[in-house]
Structure 1
Amino acid sequence: MKIPFHSSERASLGVEWELQLVDRGTRELTAGAVEVLAAITPEGLDEHPKAKHELLQSTVEVITGICSTVAEAKADLAGTVAEVAAAADARGLDLMCAGSHPFTRWRSQEVSPKERYVQLMERMQWMARRMQIFGVHVHVGVRSGDKAFPIVNALTQYIPHFLALSASSPYWSGCDTGLASARTKVFEGLPTAGLPYQLADWPAFEEYMETLITAGAIESVREVWWDIRPHPDFGTVELRICDGLPTLDEIGVVAAMAQCLVEKLDQEIDRGYTLPTPVGWVLRENKWRATRHGLDADIVVDDKGTVRPVRQAIADLAEELAPFARKLGCEAELADVERVLAGGASYQRQRAVAAAHGGDLRPVVDSLVAEMRSGLPRRA
């Protein structure tokens, strides 16, 4: 089975941001995407070019065009979000983003009226019905499928870095899960989600996809929802590990890290280096540690079991990527890593708000709505 990889301009960038629609009175996650999207879709088009349905009618996915810099991607998102926010406001709805809603129960949600989502629900049943989760996906362009899989394999060692920075789903249906990212464990319930298979090259990927399709496990490559995956149609490596992020500032951080890392690994291939493929047990352990402890995790850094704080690993990575950030024009966005480390990831900020209000989770929703409007909080 041949799967064409449509080459992209090196280090080009695209971002997908899944937004929650919440009722201004109850603060509950609320269906409204059909009306909001209809209101902003240009006349003569079937759908808005940069705002789409997702699985639930309480979600609007905002996507960028093909961008060259992180600043361009942020500006692209901001323009579309402003359109969505105005239409939502007219219907008594606010926008926010986090990996999960703090207290809305998944049974209350309506599925979007698109055939692919109806079919997904039929096939996956309970596993799909629980998918009241939200993420940020970052695409970085590469020029060939031959590079895509070595880069995917090498990027997996940074899964705990991205997950710890973006973790924003400590609550599920009104309960504190004790996790930094409950979304991660919910999403892993789908049979083709989670850590990517470590495949040697593009032909091995084509063979594996053909096997899955022949076996009836999937109908197309689009149904493989790995944490990091190649996207043949876009010609990108796609990082899907991040929880939904409340602010454009935090999106800038993870987009800058992703763009710089892919550029770094791409250069290493050009210089004849063989990119590392991390040990499987280390990947699973580190993903769990970031899921459970977020920025307080100690991650495994070799196959001997040596550990170090993920905070330090993130800070060191940002320093290592600084020359690539200068080249790609994302120095400011990469530098915002320090703001997240100092002020806390979203899961920490949410818990602080809940603690300040005696465990009431409605103010947590208010804080997430405010962050989307105002940006990453600055420390006093």
Structure 2
Amino acid sequence: MGLEAFHHSEPLTLGVELELQLVNTHDYDLAPYAEDMLRLMKKIPLPGSVVPEMTNSMIEISTGVCHSSSEVLGQLIPIRDALVKSADKLNIAVAGGGTHPFQQWHERRIYDKPRFQELSQLYGYLSKQFTIFGQHVHIGCPDADAALLMLHRMSRYIPHFIALSASSPYVQGQDTQFDSARLNSVFAFPLSGRAPFVLTWEAFGQFFDKMTRTGVVKSMKDFYWDIRPKPEYGTIEIRVFDTPLTIERAAALAGFVQSLGAWFLADQPFMPEEDDYLVYTYNRFQACRFGLDAVYVDPSTGEHMPLREHILQTMDRIAGHAATQGATGALHLLRGEASAGQNDARWLRECQREEQLLAEVSRQAALRFRGVN
């Protein structure tokens, strides 16, 4: 079976998926309530969808096709409110964050769905360690070749996405010293990393055929790349974001992606090159480890600068496109927090410094998701 044809989508449309934590309300550890939640959520007419994820203490929500970040937020609000209501009925809570601060991965149970069971058999303990929570942003592309060009242009901004969304400093009760420890679990998978540097759908098809011939992959789903094409939607899907603690931040990150995409399409500001990837892994590591305090190496000039500075410069450059897309407010929210060095990882650490109890941090994160604090 060859590569699927790239379907038509409206350029710059957005779709957002969020993987969320289900926690009990006595010690705020993860709770295996996915099935009960799905049963309750089925009864409520909502935009988008709610589906199970790899283990039964997580759930994934997604929007339908949106034209702006405010539309993304407009869809996430009723889904969030319905989730909170359903969780209250079950006496559990829902929280964002890229990792649960103190859950023990070996206690997790794989959700009973053939694909998840298959992955569990293949990846062993890695599949339980995959109890991590990400935000995926889809952006519509004019055609298949344009999608690959968009993918490789976006790759320069992977560190920006990581630092702005980082919300996973704690793993199994320990401060990892990383702002985004979640991505360390993703990098353990053999087909993670980046897409091959090809700029035509034909060349991508040849790569895909070679990979399927080896028997290592069966479909695009088997690639855990940072950004991957989604031919069935006519989009590229950016997968490096930690799930933020609030839906407002999730929508703002989608607005940032859309503004970058609009800039790429309108101005064609640079041509990506294979050499961009010489600094890719270093930049990505810096952003995971240090968040907004990371160093960014510019792929085209080799210049080293604070990532935070590059984020603010980028936002200045794309401000006009953001305005056209209705994303000025989204960029304003992210810009304010970037200048202050304030991402969700820092919020979680400050909360722990004050409370000295990770269960309380989880409780407050769940309140934050509800929009209470």
State TM-score, norm by structure 1.
0.93
Which residues of 2 match residues 162-201 of structure 1 at below 5 A? 162-201=161-200
Q: Is the 8 A contact 2:278 2:299 kept in 1?
A: no
Question: CA 1:304 to 1:326, structure 2 compared with 1: closer, same or farther past 3 Å?
Answer: closer
Aligned to 1:283: 280
Question: CA 1:302 to 1:192, structure 2 compared with 1: closer, same or farther past 3 Å?
Answer: closer
Which residues of 2 match residues 60-99 of structure 1 at below 5 A? 60-99=59-98
Q: Is the 8 A contact 2:277 2:299 kept in 1?
A: no
Aligned to 2:343: 345
Q: Is the 8 A contact 2:11 2:140 kept in 1?
A: yes
Gaps of 5+ in 1: none
Q: CA offset at residue 309 of structure 1?
A: 0.7
Aligned to 2:151: 152
Question: CA 1:317 to 1:56, structure 2 compared with 1: closer, same or farther past 3 Å?
Answer: same
Question: CA 1:213 to 1:91, structure 2 compared with 1: closer, same or farther past 3 Å?
Answer: same
Aligned to 1:102: 101
Cα distance in 1, alignment partners of residues 189 and 367 from structure 2: 32
Cα distance in 2, alignment partners of residues 2 and 121 from structure 1: 25
Which residues of 2 match residues 254-273 of structure 1 at below 5 A? 254-269=253-268
Residue 373 in structure 1 maps to residue 354 in structure 2 = no
Cα distance in 2, alignment partners of residues 190 and 150 from structure 1: 25
Cα distance in 1, alignment partners of residues 161 and 284 from structure 2: 10
Q: Which amino acid is 1:215 matched to? A: T
**SS of 1:98 mapped into structure 2:** coil
Q: Which amino acid is 2:9 matched to? A: S
Q: Is the 8 A contact 2:55 2:128 kept in 1?
A: no
Q: Mean alpha-carbon deviation: is it higher for 245-254 or for 295-304?
A: 295-304
Gaps of 5+ in 2: none
Q: CA offset at residue 10 of structure 1?
A: 1.1
Aligned to 2:40: 39
Cα distance in 2, alignment partners of residues 119 and 302 from structure 1: 39
Aligned to 2:325: 328
Question: CA 1:105 to 1:299, structure 2 compared with 1: closer, same or farther past 3 Å?
Answer: same
Residue 311 in structure 1 maps to residue 321 in structure 2 = no
Cα distance in 1, alignment partners of residues 80 and 247 from structure 2: 10
Matched residue pairs, number? Answer: 371
Q: Which amino acid is 1:70 matched to? A: S
State TM-score, norm by structure 2.
0.95
Cα distance in 2, alignment partners of residues 77 and 225 from structure 1: 25
Question: CA 1:252 to 1:339, structure 2 compared with 1: closer, same or farther past 3 Å?
Answer: farther
Aligned to 1:202: 201
Aligned to 1:15: 16
Q: What RMSD over aligned residues (CA atoms) do the two structures have, in Å?
A: 2.0
Q: Which amino acid is 2:347 matched to? A: R
Q: Which amino acid is 1:315 matched to? A: L
Any idea what the Cα deviations from partners look like across 1:182-239, whole Å, max 9, x if unmatched?
1011111111122222223211211122122221211211121211111101101111
